[in-house]
Amino acid sequence: MRTNLYFKVEIEHEASEKPEKLGSEIRRQLLKMYAVREVELAGVTAAED
């Protein structure tokens, strides 16, 4: 059985940190820690305060 899970993740980061790089790191950790088959970063948006 396969199941797709969808998450919305809001993070705080320094202006010098690229959101795409942070997303790639989260993806890498999911693949490593949970042995998932596939992880895709679907998009990046800026959150307003």
Q: Are 43 and 23 in contact (CB under 8 A)?
A: no
Separation between Cα atoms, residue 37 and residue 2, nearest integer Å: 10
pLDDT digits (tens, 9 = 90+) for 5-44: 888 888 999 999 999 999 999 999 998 898 888 888 888 8
Separation between Cα atoms, residue 4 and residue 49, nearest integer Å: 30
Instruction: Read off the tokens for 19.
Output: 């959101």
Residue 28 is assigned to a structural domain of this protein: yes
Enumerate long-range contacts of 21-29, CB under 8 Å, 24 or more apart.
Answer: none
Residue 9 is assigned to a structural domain of this protein: no
How many domains does the structure of the chain reveal? 1
The boundaries of the domain holding residue 35 are 14-40
pLDDT of residue 13: 92
pLDDT of residue 21: 93
